[in-house]
């Protein structure tokens, strides 16, 4: 699954370019028109030394000359080692099989690395623009498709108006190039030989050793999404890359950012298609390397319960037992992580590490005890347990005070054996009391709705009864909807 850029680059041949003379090749500055002060000099000299590019017979490099789209295709094919035999005809109207760049153009088009114009041409003799080169570099070298990059350029449009927008920002983020000025990229300007040398050298150096996961690697037809990240400080980033229909498939790029370990779930067309991996990022020979280790493990999972009113800041102790009374832990570690002043409750986080149904007992400083049902379920396609927590509550009260609601009507049938619902005489105070075992949702409708200032219309109440093992809970909440403001 791992895709690596080929270490050895084939010789880059440009139109009218010839190998260096021995004298120039031996010198520290091989081209008389590429002084060391030029920003592209280091790249030109390095690529020339490695016989990737060459100069002209007169000892010049002509860094200001442009490169055509056909030449660019030939360059990229040689750099990436892309196979050019048995290629599919891209059907460009101006690229026949007799064209010297046909195989390179066809090979890249088949892989979705390049495309043509709307009129069916490829334009092999057209100078390649800086925007076009950006897109080719991103696709051909499989650069990370970063999508959250601040745009400093005022001339590249937007992701909706320019097909090169995203690619330009990718190579900008990776430091492959800047712009022609601090705030212009030169989207439609032809790329020069000097610029090309610098961008090629920079791409080679900046490309991270990312790990690519394709649907075909897993025997699937598609990779739909990625889920299951654990923690907030992962050592890698996952980027979804949408394939081009008929040419390339969807893929996930796992981009290392620092040393460490993280977790990843890759999913296919449905929940039956999944892969769970431990992702290791280690530095080797100065580079961050990603390896994936397949696993079926489920990790300890942080979940929450809630305490109410005067219980806030008073929780002293949590203990956990099975439904039949067997003690699992007499001292469950917990942390109060937040308080909601609007509904007077606080969130208490704790960790579960095994499936089953349990009773969590909360003890407070005033001697009060509250029980919670905790149901921990395995979900094979996740690193985390699915957890449901239910506070034991056998009665509930809901008071509408002086609102005019008129009479009420219970719409749900055959609920009486599960919950008892009453309304105090001449009041708007409702009570619910659990009467039996089982879950039920009961709807109650007012004859007069309540209209609130935010255009919300309350039409009734919902009485909800749930249970986890021996722990039962009843709650009363409102039913309503928002209306159009006047």
DSSP for 317-338, written as a single string:
EEEEEETTS-EEESS---EEEE
Structural domain includes residue 399: yes
Structural domain includes residue 3: no
Do 223 and 167 share a domain, yes or no? no
Do 96 and 166 share a domain, yes or no? yes
- Give the mean pLDDT per block of 10 residues along the chain (486 residues): 36 38 54 93 88 85 92 85 93 96 96 93 96 94 92 92 93 92 94 89 90 88 68 82 73 92 89 90 93 94 95 95 97 92 90 97 97 96 95 97 93 97 96 97 96 87 98 97 71
284 strand-pairing partners: 287
> What pLDDT score does 46 carry?
87
CB 362 within 8 A of CB 369: yes
Do 147 and 184 share a domain, yes or no? yes
Do 34 and 147 share a domain, yes or no? yes
Structural domain includes residue 161: yes
Q: Which residues have a Cβ under 8 Å from the Cβ of 130 and sit 6 or more positions away?
A: 177, 180, 185, 186, 187, 188, 189, 190, 191, 195
Structural domain includes residue 7: no
Residue whose token pair is 């929780």: 315
Neighbours of 232 (CB within 10 A): 5
Do 281 and 354 share a domain, yes or no? no
Structural domain includes residue 15: no
Buried b (16+ CB within 10 A) or exposed e, 363-382: ebeeeeebbbbbbbeeeebb
Q: Give the domain-ending residue among 260, 294, 328.
A: 294
Structure tokens of 396?
A: 């509930």
* Domain assignment of residue 326, given as a range: 301-391
Q: Give the domain-ending residue among 294, 326, 348.
A: 294
Structural domain includes residue 444: yes
Q: Give the domain-ending residue among 294, 319, 342.
A: 294
Q: Which residues have a Cβ under 8 Å from the Cβ of 219 and sit 6 or more positions away?
A: none
Do 263 and 321 share a domain, yes or no? no
Structure tokens of 230?
A: 């654990």
Do 246 and 188 share a domain, yes or no? no
Do 101 and 175 share a domain, yes or no? yes
> What pLDDT score does 16 carry?
34
Do 368 and 407 share a domain, yes or no? no
Do 254 and 156 share a domain, yes or no? no
Structural domain includes residue 16: no
CA–CA separation, 459 and 450 (whole Å) = 7
- Decide: pTM greater than 0.75: no
Into how many domains does the chain fold? 4
How many C-alpha atoms does 482 have within 13 Å on its Cβ side? 5
Q: What is the CATH number of the domain that holds 369?
A: 2.60.40
Residue whose token pair is 């927008």: 165
Structural domain includes residue 1: no
CA dist list (Å): 106 to 11, 90, 125, 131, 245? 20, 6, 15, 21, 16
Do 323 and 363 share a domain, yes or no? yes
Do 316 and 422 share a domain, yes or no? no
> What pLDDT score does 227 carry?
59
Beta strands 419-423 and 429-434, pairing class: antiparallel
């Amino acid at each position: 699954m791992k895709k690596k850029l080929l270490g050895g680059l084939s010789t880059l041949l440009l139109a009218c370019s010839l190998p260096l003379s021995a004298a120039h090749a031996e010198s520290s500055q091989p081209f008389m028109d590429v002084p060391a002060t030029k920003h592209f000099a280091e790249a030109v000299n390095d690529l020339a030394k490695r016989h990737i590019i060459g100069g002209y017979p007169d000892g010049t490099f002509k860094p200001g000359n442009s490169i055509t789209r056909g030449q660019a295709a030939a360059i990229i094919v040689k750099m990436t080692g892309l196979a050019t035999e048995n290629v599919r005809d891209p059907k460009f109207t101006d690229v026949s099989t007799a064209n010297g760049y046909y195989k390179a153009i066809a090979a890249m088009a088949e892989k979705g690395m390049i495309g043509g114009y709307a009129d069916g041409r490829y334009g092999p003799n057209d100078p390649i623009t800086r925007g076009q080169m950006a897109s080719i570099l991103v696709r051909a070298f499989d650069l990370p498709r970063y999508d959250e990059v601040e745009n400093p350029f005022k001339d590249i449009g937007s992701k909706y108006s320019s097909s090169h927008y995203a690619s330009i920002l990718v190579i900008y983020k990776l430091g492959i190039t800047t712009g022609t000025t601090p705030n212009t990229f030169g989207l439609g300007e032809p790329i020069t030989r000097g610029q090309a040398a610098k961008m090629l050298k920079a791409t080679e150096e900046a490309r991270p050793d990312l790990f690519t996961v394709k649907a075909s690697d897993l025997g699937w037809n598609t990779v739909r999404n990625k889920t299951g990240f654990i923690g907030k400080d992962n050592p890698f980033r996952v980027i979804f890359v949408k394939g081009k229909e008929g040419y390339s498939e969807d893929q996930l790029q796992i981009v290392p950012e620092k040393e460490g370990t993280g977790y990843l779930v890759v999913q296919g067309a449905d929940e039956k298609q999944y892969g769970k991996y431990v992702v290791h990022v280690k530095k080797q020979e100065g580079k961050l390397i990603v390896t994936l280790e397949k696993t079926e493990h489920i990790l300890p999972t942080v979940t929450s319960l809630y305490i109410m009113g005067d219980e806030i800041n008073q929780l002293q102790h949590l203990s956990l037992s099975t439904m039949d009374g067997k003690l699992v832990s007499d001292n469950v570690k917990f942390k109060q992580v937040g308080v909601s002043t609007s509904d007077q409750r606080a969130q208490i986080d704790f960790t579960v590490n095994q499936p089953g149904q349990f009773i969590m007992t909360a003890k407070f400083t005033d001697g009060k005890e509250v029980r919670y049902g905790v149901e921990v379920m395995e979900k094979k396609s996740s690193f985390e347990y699915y957890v449901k927590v239910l506070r034991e509550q056998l009665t509930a009260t809901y008071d509408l005070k002086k609102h005019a609601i008129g009479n009420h009507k219970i719409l749900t049938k055959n609920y009486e054996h599960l919950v008892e619902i009453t309304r105090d005489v001449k009041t708007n105070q409702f009570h619910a009391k659990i009467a039996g075992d089982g879950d039920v949702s009961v709807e109650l409708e007012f004859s007069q709705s309540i209209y609130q200032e935010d255009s919300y219309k309350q039409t009734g109440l919902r009485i909800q009864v749930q249970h986890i093992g021996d722990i039962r809970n009843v709650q009363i909440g409102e039913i309503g909807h928002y209306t159009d403001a006047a």
